[in-house]
Amino acid sequence: MSDTHAQTVPFVRDTMLPPSDPPAREAGAVHWLRQNLFSGPVNTVLTIIGVLIVWFLVSHFWDWFAHSVWNANSLSECRQIIAETWGEGARGACWAVIRERWNQYVYGFYPPALYWRPTMAFGLLFLALAPVLFSESPGIRRIVLGLATVLTLWLMVTLNAPAAWLVFAAVMLIGGLAVSERHVSWLLIFSVLYPLMGVWFLWGGSAWGPIMVLAGPLLGWIAWLALGRVSGLLATVVALVVPLVWWYFYAGEAASDAESLVSLAIPAVASDRFGGFLLSITIGVAGIAMSLPLGIVLALARRSDMFLVKSLAVIFIEFIRGVPLIALLFVASLLLNYFLPPTVTFDIILRVIIMVTLFSAAYMAEVIRGGLAALPKGQYEAADALGLDYWKAQRLIVLPQALKISIPGIVSTFIGMFKDTTLVTFVGLYDPLKSMSDAVRASTSWKGIYWEPYIFVGFIFFLICFGMSRYSMYLERRLARGHR
């Protein structure tokens, strides 16, 4: 043997070995199949069962979809076209009903000459949501606002919108897109004003009504500034009371007087003309926007150390969660007016929105309470160590973390509430799933049509709910700073 130790002999490779191909079982489609579909006995059995289910569905329903008819004026004409094309006894979907009655599924019984108004309101909704949902994502914000601008203006032109309103929508959308490139936070002003603008666009009437509603908080803010140096508690109470007094006693007369001086009215549309996805989206967006802050307040109240506040929150949450939504909708439709002064009347859609909001807020409170309970005690102690009072601690430390934890539950509640808007059919409103389909089938031309309307409406609901789910996943990834 050599006396020289092996480690004393230097060796430096001056050429690299060529890369070798991976084994056939560890690359390509074979590797993907082994890892995802056949990784074990249980996974293999489930894969085979899944393939059999897909084969069953395709073999039984493929011909129904493949023989679809899109151009027909009645169900009988659809069946005649299928028989002539594919032979006697063949079956096929009659999507012509969607082509003929799409406007009813989208707008309900809204006046056709005014279809451009809800279209414009829906387009401006994306502008109002941009600084809230996409403030930290300029790329996504540009895509969303760009698509909203192009589609809204194109649809308004197609629906023969007046030139003045077309210019207004173009200025708002294009101007909002330009503003978002410089100071996206400035769009929050539009986000605050949009609810009143949306109500005016959808229901019409005088614009002085929403303006006088907006004057209430302004008067309360002025009162708070005037009394803030005297007493903080007195200023807060007066700031809350002044808007209520203004709305109840003076806002209506002030709006009437202003309208008589300068008319800002557009054609009014009654609530019984709403229907289809216009009704569902109106109720869903309003319920989502109001149930989240109300749910946060209820969650904090339920965790409060004050006995009365905690007891009232517990009673409200448990009562709402223990009562079916249909029962609350019947209360909104039939009984709510009995508890109001004789001169006060609430629109049926407004009553439904109130009940849907309260119902969703109760579930939202429990979701957020779970997020608050998941925070370690050290976060609360850290807020105390910094000398923060209760509201600053909640706003700066506790709630941001609790809401981040609760994102899946919050969005799940939103999705459930949006799908529950179809229950308004039981109080006489035309939801897109049942009432609007029944209205279409009431026509002799489409009597007997069944599956096509349900599949179409279910597909649209799926797209909207899937969009909310994907945004939830995007938000979770963007806020997942704890594991970076």
**Mapping DSSP to helix (H, G, I), strand (E, B) and coil, where does residue 419 land?**
helix
Q: What is the DSSP pairing of strand 265-266 with strand 205-206? A: antiparallel
The whole-number pLDDT of residue 125 equals 93
The whole-number pLDDT of residue 203 equals 93
Give tens-digit pLDDT for 216-266. 889 888 888 888 777 777 888 888 888 888 888 888 888 888 888 888 889
* C-alpha closest to that of 149 among 157, 138, 139: 157
* Segment-wise mean pLDDT, segments of 10 residues, the chain, 484 residues: 55 75 72 82 90 91 87 88 85 88 91 93 92 85 91 93 93 91 87 91 90 89 82 80 87 88 89 91 92 92 88 92 88 74 76 90 92 85 83 85 89 92 88 88 86 91 92 84 53
Q: How many whole angstroms separate alpha carbon 389 and alpha carbon 152? A: 46
Cβ atoms of 300 and 371 closer than 8 Å: no
At a CB cut-off of 8 Å and minimum separation 6, what does 142 contact?
Answer: 177, 180, 181
78, containing H or E segment? helix 75-86
* C-alpha closest to that of 118 among 277, 289, 354: 277
* Per-residue tokens: 208: 């002085």
Cβ atoms of 201 and 118 closer than 8 Å: yes
Q: How many whole angstroms separate alpha carbon 49 and alpha carbon 44? A: 9
**Mapping DSSP to helix (H, G, I), strand (E, B) and coil, where does residue 401 land?**
helix
* C-alpha closest to that of 464 among 418, 421, 413: 418
**Mapping DSSP to helix (H, G, I), strand (E, B) and coil, where does residue 205 land?**
strand
* C-alpha closest to that of 47 among 57, 59, 28, 33: 33
Cβ atoms of 411 and 432 closer than 8 Å: no
Give tens-digit pLDDT for 410-460. 999 999 999 999 999 888 889 898 888 888 888 888 888 888 899 999 999
Residue whose entry in the numeric block shows the structure tokens 């709006």: 255
What pTM, to 2 d.p., does this model score?
Answer: 0.86
Cβ atoms of 76 and 54 closer than 8 Å: no
* Per-residue tokens: 300: 């904090």
At a CB cut-off of 8 Å and minimum separation 6, what does 416 contact?
Answer: 363
